[in-house]
Structure 1
Amino acid sequence: MSKAHRGSGIRNEEVKGGRGECPVCKRTGVKVLYEVTIDGEKAKVCKPCNAHLKAVASK
């Protein structure tokens, strides 16, 4: 099983090992690793927001 969003896989991210502010829920200090398209622009969001956006898109 892949572990791309843990440990050594996220050390190469731009800022603070993949941590930052989620543009959807505005939480800070969370891992923003999941790239999604929001209003025509690509943004990186946290895991709960990624799951929510996928659930909304599938309906």
Structure 2
Amino acid sequence: MAKTKRGRALWNLPSRGRGTCPICSATRIKLLYPRAKTDGTQLKVCKRCINATQFKVDAISG
């Protein structure tokens, strides 16, 4: 049986959840994972950057 609902939640996100990762600068990649900076702001990052060090996350401007 096909899994017709898989990924359906992404359709409601702008650009289907894709963009440029603020940490690794990969383009047209899914940004689904939230990371918090030290000041409390949230960033959406790609799957590869979930485990990035807090130093790299805090170095992002904006």
Q: TM-score, normalised by structure 1?
A: 0.68
Q: Cα RMSD over matched residues?
A: 1.8
Q: Which has the higher strand share?
A: 1
SS in 1 for 2:44: strand
**Following the alignment from structure 2 to structure 1, what is the Cα–Cα distance between the partners of residues 35 and 9?**
19
CA displacement, residues 13-38 of structure 1 (integer Å, 9 cap, x when unaligned): 1x210000000101110000111112
Q: Structure 1: which 5+ residue stretches go unaligned? A: 1-5
Distance 2:37 2:29 in 1: 19
Alignment: residue pair count = 48
Greater relative contact order, per chain length (Cα 8 Å cut-off, separation 6+): 2
* 1:21-58 Cα distance to aligned partner (Å, 9 max, x none): 000101110000111112422110001101x23xx46x
Q: TM-score, normalised by structure 2?
A: 0.65
Structure 2 spans left out of the alignment, 5+ residues: 1-5, 55-62
Stretches of 4+ aligned residues off by more than 3 angstroms: none
